[in-house]
Amino acid sequence: MAERTIPLIDHRHAAARPAVPRFAAVPNGLLSDRLGRALGDLRISVTDRCNFRCSYCMPKEVFDKNHRFLPHAELLSFEEITRLARVFALHGVHKLRLTGGEPLLRKNLEVLIEQLAALRTPEGAPLDLTLTTNASLLVRKAGALAAAGLKRVTVSLDALDDAVFRRMNDVDFPVAEVLAGIEAAVAAGLAPIKVNMVVKRGINDHEIVPMARFFRDHFGGKVVLRFIEYMDVGVTNGWRMDEVLPSAQVVARIHAAFPLRVLQATALGETAERWGYADGAGEVGVISSVTQAFCGDCNRARLSTEGKLYLCLFASRGHDLRALLRDPAGYSDTQIAAAIGAIWQGRDDRYSELRGSAEGAVASAAKVEMSYIGG
């Protein structure tokens, strides 16, 4: 086997302190970046810890007992997260996704969900509040999450074959418990549930059709399976292009077993291309971040566990919003909104479109890890 070198660099501290404009205008929800893209979706990482060690995300060799996870005092508090989410909503954010690390490991997460569920857009509508999880704690928590106001969940599951899945999560976690978590989420009303499968060629691509078959036949259309191309996020997963199976091939394999027809996208900025089974038995989605870049309408911002704002999944530097929240000057929401507005207006990130080019290599020279800013 070829030897693999894993760079050990910690970029978590590379962040610029945002400037607070002297004259802060009240946000009007019409923010646009340098490429004309609005701000619509905020992904919030609530912990950098995880009880899995998926090789494509937190390889064991790097995230071992010597890895320094963030101490509690560095994390944003629930009040700080909620305050920022409220400010982002003023700028047009209508969708919040909690992620991590494994978000269900954050203590009393229901309390945060309750606070976020109470937020409203300037038009008075609740925000679309969801969460991505490995489902290991979902049996225990689904009821409380739904009662707190969570609307939906996305569950990650990379194989139905128990041996393959245990190898991929690298902590010997069984498929049956994830399926029990999905059932608990359905029972709690957290549907429609999306199930994400990251496809790695030669590792779990033989599971594509069995996964499609299983989710067609179970849960009565309340679960939508989506296949994600293995991405070159972070620097620790030793990503190689030959391990990416293009989504076109995923669709072709499913189509050969169960004929498919393409469906219309439901929302601008939606990452998944949707395919419906020709016999009406539901749909599947493919997310082709590598082979078909969708930066053109990317409206997503990411907030790290300790309050740094990232404008792209492949960014190297964040913007330290926590420094503003904790500044002795006591900035108002309007001032913080103005700082965020100025940051978004300067955004020109479009890494997936530049992947493979010299410009892309410069832009992503020190990408942060997915477990730190969330998926």
What are the residues binding ligand SF4 (CB under 6 A)? 50, 52-54, 57-58, 100-102, 134, 156, 294-295, 298, 300, 312-314, 349-352, 371
Q: Which helix (H) or strand (E) holds 12?
A: none
CB 44 within 8 A of CB 303: yes
Nearer to ligand SAM, 228 or 368 (CB): 228
Distances (CA, A) of 211 to 195, 214, 265: 10, 5, 23
For residue 353, report the phi and psi dihedrals to the nearest 5 degrees.
-75, -25
Nearer to ligand SF4, 53 or 319 (CB): 53
Q: Which does 230 bind (CB under 5 to 8 A by kind): ligand SAM, ligand SF4, none?
A: ligand SAM
User: Shortest Cβ distance from residue 280 to ligand SF4 (Å)?
Assistant: 32
Within 9-38, the residues that bind ligand SAM by CB under 6 A are none
Nearer to ligand SAM, 56 or 351 (CB): 56
Q: Give the Cα separation of 77 and 242 in Å (integer).
A: 41
Dihedral of the alpha carbons of 365, 52, 74, 87, in degrees to the nearest 10:
80
Q: Which helix (H) or strand (E) holds 276?
A: strand 273-277
Nearer to ligand SAM, 243 or 333 (CB): 243
Q: Which two tokens stand for residue 261?
A: 């027809």
Q: Counting contacts by CB under 6 A, is residue 196 touching ligand SAM? A: yes
Handedness of CA 292, 165, 195, 223 (dihedral sign): positive
Residue number of the CB closest to ligand SAM reads: 375
Nearer to ligand SAM, 57 or 311 (CB): 57
DSSP one-letter string for 18-57: PP--SS-PPP-S----TTS----EEEEE--S--S---TTT
Nearer to ligand SF4, 41 or 283 (CB): 41
Handedness of CA 139, 197, 374, 80 (dihedral sign): negative
Q: Counting contacts by CB under 6 A, is residue 134 touching ligand SAM? A: yes
- Cα 166 from chain centroid? 22
User: Shortest Cβ distance from residue 349 to ligand SF4 (Å)?
Assistant: 5
User: Shortest Cβ distance from residue 126 to ligand SF4 (Å)?
Assistant: 25
Q: Which does 75 bind (CB under 5 to 8 A by kind): ligand SF4, ligand SAM, none?
A: none
Q: Which does 228 bind (CB under 5 to 8 A by kind): ligand SF4, ligand SAM, none?
A: ligand SAM
- Cα 58 from chain centroid? 15
Q: Give the Cα separation of 248 and 288 in Å (integer).
A: 9
User: Shortest Cβ distance from residue 18 to ligand SAM (Å)?
Assistant: 25
Within 51-70, the residues that bind ligand SAM by CB under 6 A are 56-57
- Near ligand SAM by CB under 6 A, which window of 95-103, 138-146, 314-322, 347-355? 95-103
User: Shortest Cβ distance from residue 331 to ligand SF4 (Å)?
Assistant: 27
Residue 189: exposed, middle, or buried by beta-carbon count in 10 A (0-12, 13-18, 19+)? Answer: middle
Q: Counting contacts by CB under 6 A, is residue 198 touching ligand SAM? A: yes
Q: Residue with structure tokens 């910690």? A: 10
Nearer to ligand SAM, 138 or 339 (CB): 138
CB 155 within 8 A of CB 190: no
User: Shortest Cβ distance from residue 127 to ligand SAM (Å)?
Assistant: 19
Q: Which helix (H) or strand (E) holds 170?
A: none
Judged by CB under 6 A, the residue of 230, 275, 344, 351 near ligand SAM is 230
Binding stretches for ligand SAM (CB under 6 A):
50, 56-57, 99-100, 102, 132-134, 156, 196, 198, 228, 230-231, 233, 237, 370-371, 374-375
